[in-house]
Copies of this chain bind each other. A is one copy, B any other.
């Protein structure tokens, strides 16, 4: 058992080294050699944990996704008024600090890199569209969504808004800072919710 745990722990450390390399040098710099160096491992040792570069990168991306999902689930379980809960979840998806901006960088670099490798690429990989549908349904269950709205279109709109904000928070972090993101999201929730 301890061996198995060590193996997984080491894979995580390597994935984290891969993130750091991607953040610093972009995907062009994310070679197995550079990642091994960052993780302070020999090439041979790294190959023991990941046999190919793509296997390593797919795992590193999966970890980004799991970290975000864990943060979202934690908020979902909190005892909060529905609108506040939704705002907090959205603020976990749009990057508002260095750590989450780094995750977005990795997502962006990864998506650009794997886009032309059809065997690996899956547009739906981040599950955000489905999460947005659940949030709209959740508002509706609590009779908070304005009656005349089309839930399908509101899901698509919220999804585009969130990913657009995430993209801009990564590209222009000074203008698109936490306060501004919060104001846009509060305004959006206000625009789709019924008066209480």
Chain A residues within CB distance 8 Å of chain B:
24-29, 105, 108-109, 111-113, 115-116, 123-124, 149-150, 153-154, 156-157, 159-165, 167-168, 171-172, 176, 180, 183-184, 187-188, 191-192
Residue of B nearest to A115 (CB): B26
Residue of B nearest to A172 (CB): B123
Picked from B27, B112, B116, B184, the residue with its CB within 8 Å of the CB of A160 is B184
Residue of B nearest to A165 (CB): B160
Contact A116 B167 (CB under 8 A): no
Which residue, A24, A26, A172, A192, has most C-beta atoms of chain B within 10 A?
A: A26
Copies of this chain, complex-wide, total: 2
How many whole Å from A95's CB to the nearest CB in chain B? 13
> Given A109-B112, A171-B123, is A161 in contact with B159 using a C-beta cutoff of 8 Å?
no
Picked from B108, B123, B164, B183, the residue with its CB within 8 Å of the CB of A153 is B183
Contact B171 A156 (CB under 8 A): no
Residue of B nearest to A124 (CB): B172
Closest 4 CB pairs of A and B: A164-B164, A160-B164, A112-B112, A26-B116
| A162 surroundings in chain B (CB, below 8 A) | 164
Contact A187 B153 (CB under 8 A): yes
Give Cα distance in the complex from A112 to B167, angstroms: 11
| A26 surroundings in chain B (CB, below 8 A) | 112-113, 115-116
